[in-house]
Copies of this chain bind each other. A is one copy, B any other.
Amino acid sequence: MTLRAPARQPLEGAALRAGLVRDGLLVETGVPGLVARTAAYEAVVSGIDHLVTEAFAHLAPGYLHFPPVLARTAFRRTGYLESFPDLMGSVHVFVGGDEEHRELLRRSGGDERWEEVLEPSQVVLVPAACHALYPLLAGRLPAGGAAYEVRADCFRHEPSDDPARLQSFRMHEVVVLGSPAQAEAHRAAGVELAVGLLEPLGLDVAVVPANDPFFGRAGKVLARGQRDEGLKVEVVTTITSGRSTAVASGNCHRDHFGSTFAIEQYDGSTAHSACVGFGVDRVSLALVSVHGTDLSGWPAGVRALLGL
């Protein structure tokens, strides 16, 4: 939205990743898109979380922090397996006795698949923070609708060398449920709030129409429909050179979650919902891309906003 020179030219992915590790912000684990975070990096993450909470405090008092796994039965009802099977993570466990354990170790010691001895557990990894919320909301909403702030460690199976495409990352969202108009108004106002939060941090952002990465041949049709109907917008910026990356998004779900999880408006009709979500790790990485890996050298105003 702003027109000005960035603080520095964005690096290529490999160079940014090397800098993050060299200057003590992240530690590589050997798995693409899986990093350990240092206290310095986490201070940035906390600062962003705090800004999001503050920006949306007028809507949702307090927040829910979900664990990184959610109920498999609820997950199955969200439609994720239909739309994004390639991104999800299913948690499997061992429920055998001594004999099955011997078999597990025999397979594991050889070159066989020990994982085939396992059984699906009651949980899967959380793919989006708000997906852990809807299953808890069956029932009738008040006349003004309801707003929830939610946080979760999310998992998406998309191994990549792009430092901004993590398999395990933090998502911070604000969800509104109510009438179609309430949901749409939240999306519109929330995206403006997101821009108003990100620009003072020095990020050069733009709001663009977008679609989710629906799977397969049928997914192409779904993606086009979502884009044509304006259901998703992304707040994008440049984290690594030559690439535009979403750091936040606004999504109208219509009555998808309302009808799936029996959430009703005050008048008994099916609730609509919309969410505005921040990829907190991506915002952090965008800030490093713009201001550098030495946090002590970040502009004083940015440091103050983040409480650094």
On A, residues with C-beta under 8 Å from B are 27, 29-31, 34-40, 42, 62-71, 73-74, 76, 81-82, 85-86, 88-98, 101, 104-105, 108, 113-115, 118, 120-123, 125, 132, 135-136, 153, 155, 157, 159, 166-169, 215-218
What are 22 A-to-B residue pairs whose CB atoms are below 8 Å? A27-B136, A29-B132, A30-B74, A31-B122, A34-B122, A37-B65, A37-B67, A40-B62, A67-B169, A68-B69, A68-B155, A68-B168, A69-B155, A69-B168, A85-B101, A85-B104, A86-B95, A89-B93, A90-B92, A115-B120, A122-B159, A123-B167
Shortest distance between the CB of A54 and any CB in chain B (Å): 13
Shortest distance between the CB of A263 and any CB in chain B (Å): 15
A113 touches B120 (CB 8 A): yes
A108 touches B168 (CB 8 A): no
User: Which of B38, B90, B101, B132 contacts A115 (CB under 8 A)?
Assistant: B90
User: Which of B36, B74, B121, B166 contacts A157 (CB under 8 A)?
Assistant: B121
Query: Which partner residue on chain B sits nearest A98 by CB separation?
Result: B216
| Chain A binding surface, main DSSP class | mixed
Note all chain B residues with C-beta closer than 8 A to A85. Answer: 94, 96, 101, 104
Note all chain B residues with C-beta closer than 8 A to A73. Answer: 30
A153 touches B68 (CB 8 A): yes
A82 touches B98 (CB 8 A): no
Note all chain B residues with C-beta closer than 8 A to A135. Answer: 29-30
If A71-B30, A122-B31 touch, whether A97 touches B155 (CB-CB below 8 Å) is no
